[in-house]
Structure 1
């Protein structure tokens, strides 16, 4: 495998949608709207980072990062997700490479931090932790986690872009 992680290009859009749809098709936590979320973020200019994993000119993975608001204030924090890997390439560390590359790019943008809603056992490897001072939907959850990239921890309720309501 000759893997390249890079920013999406216009020619990648259909493949990103196909990989995302297939990756979430049977996932128990899926809303079935993940590809539409990415499209909505892109259309609104709110897709801060859209990274693809490419193997021999084939898109096999994607990770999205978009701005979030905390307590209705934009504080230079971002949300990670959706992240998708083609079915035949799952479990090979490609998601980790995409996430690490995205977090490094957020650091270079001087982002304050990043949040994710997901399995703590997976996301702790990147430094994400649950923080009861930072909530989603008004309630603390061990599945809602944050990673401080620059500055102090944030506190309050997090709101994602309206594209997540797709």
Structure 2
């Protein structure tokens, strides 16, 4: 497998939308709005990082990262997600490659750290951990995780951009 990771381009948007929809179609804990969220973030100019995984000129994965706010006033924090891989390409390391590239991109931007909502068993291997005092309202604390890029972890309630409420 010869996969490259690059920044999204305008001509990728339709494929990213279809890919994201397909990737979450059978996910139990999904609202099935992830494709709408990515497009709403893009329209609001809130995609700080948007990378695609490409193999043989075909997009097979995508990751989105957007700024988040923390009630304590901590700055430089971002939320990772959604991250999507075509169902027939999952389990081949594409998601891991996207994660590593996205986190490296955030560090290059000078980010303080990154949060995400997801499976601790999967995201723990990238250094993400649940932290007492850092929360996302309405979410079981073990699934809301953070990774600091060197500084202290903030304390407070994290809020994602309103685009995460998009339903179309």
User: Normalized against structure 1, the TM-score is what?
Assistant: 0.96
Please state how far the C-alpha of 1:21 moved relative to its aligned partner.
Answer: 0.5
Please state how far the C-alpha of 1:97 moved relative to its aligned partner.
Answer: 0.4
Please state how far the C-alpha of 1:40 moved relative to its aligned partner.
Answer: 0.4
Q: State the match for 2:151 in structure 1.
A: 151
Structure 2 distance, partners of 1:145, 1:66, is: 15
What runs of 5+ residues in structure 2 fail to find an aligned partner? none
User: Normalized against structure 2, the TM-score is what?
Assistant: 0.95
Please state how far the C-alpha of 1:45 moved relative to its aligned partner.
Answer: 0.4
Please state how far the C-alpha of 1:107 moved relative to its aligned partner.
Answer: 0.8
Change in 2 beyond 3 A, CA 1:17/1:139:
closer
Q: State the match for 1:114 in structure 2.
A: 114
Alignment of 1:13-162 (within 5 A): 13-71=13-71, 73=73, 75-137=75-137, 141-162=141-162
Q: State the match for 2:7 in structure 1.
A: 7
Which runs of 4 or more aligned residues in structure 1 lie more than 3 Å from their structure 2 counterparts after TM superposition? none
Provide the aligned length of Structure 1 versus Structure 2: 166
Q: Secondary structure at the match of 1:142?
A: helix
Change in 2 beyond 3 A, CA 1:12/1:59:
same
Please state how far the C-alpha of 1:109 moved relative to its aligned partner.
Answer: 1.0
> How far does the alpha carbon of each residue in 1:22-75 deviate from its partner, in whole angstroms, 9 at most, with x for none?
011111011111000000000000000000000111110000000000007361
Which stretch shifts more, 78-87 or 67-76? 67-76
Q: State the match for 2:165 in structure 1.
A: 165
Please state how far the C-alpha of 1:153 moved relative to its aligned partner.
Answer: 1.0
Please state how far the C-alpha of 1:152 moved relative to its aligned partner.
Answer: 1.4
Q: Do 2:51 and 2:64's aligned partners in 1 also have CA atoms closer than 8 Å? A: yes
CA RMSD of aligned residues (A): 1.3
Please state how far the C-alpha of 1:85 moved relative to its aligned partner.
Answer: 0.2
